[in-house]
Structure 1
């Protein structure tokens, strides 16, 4: 029976005494990286919201996700006269294709604008989050959105936010500006 107890110890000695010197931590480049998570962007298909995956440089940033939404469906995703496809209830704004900037972060401010008011002169919505309340501030060019258009904004922004905060509870979203003042829960959003 004693021989059985010695077997693991002998195996450990054999492995550790193979002539390889012990070393500490070896620095070998940056942190491991892989594919960035895809951000769900909600478009309209047959009168209902449908999420399409998009790459963004800042996963988890609702403002970047809204820029992708406002750019509209990609050419191959849009319907033609003979096929159904994805559409949007949002106006395509001239600056929607501008590259993402660090104007506003989800904590309500940035180093260049701690008040969180940056981006108000742009044609894209800005997003701030305080606790479980997300505020989407629309530019003047987005007046008169339909309920489905507002839901596109809410679902896209909250889905992006949850990419890096999956345990976040229900969010209440206030959509303001552009003649809107809507409050709704993201519970109305379809699952991806």
Structure 2
């Protein structure tokens, strides 16, 4: 289909963000032939200098947009954010002999708890189920431990429509946030977090990547 005949409407549902027409045009051309390489983008090696430059540029853009300090790593991983429900406790809870704390504020944060429980002890410090997940806890209502492995929360629950307006947690406990639905929608204090993760599908384009 020619792009001139494409109705590129904005998408306000829980799916991929709409890409600008210019990006779609460049992508369309690159599928046939990347000019400086002479190959389709679908046939270029992931070990090539060209692909390395694409990854480096993407990382630098993220660092600039979010103010990511140089002592923080930027990782591009396969899978969606839900994969991190398992990978985070595998790396930060398993074998630690500590308890991970979770705020359950809606559908997505509730899904993270069972996966973490496989790897170690989990304590839900607040659960909004009884109220239908229509509100968030006040900061002073959270009873937290300074000995926790980490505190995990979801910044914006898309199903219920509740979004944190403050950073929960204690300064001496690693803070982990699933920002899948509001990543790059506003500035964040990256240095207040131990780990932030999000998938490209919500705001950045098509699915298939977590950063």
Greater fraction helix: 2
Does TM, scored on the shorter chain, surpass 0.5? no
Greater fraction strand: 1
| TM-score bracket, shorter-length normalisation | under 0.3
Q: Larger C-alpha radius of gyration, 1 or 2?
A: 1
With structure 2 as the length reference, what TM-score do the two structures score? 0.26
With structure 1 as the length reference, what TM-score do the two structures score? 0.28
Higher-RCO chain (CA-CA 8 Å, sequence separation at least 6)? 2
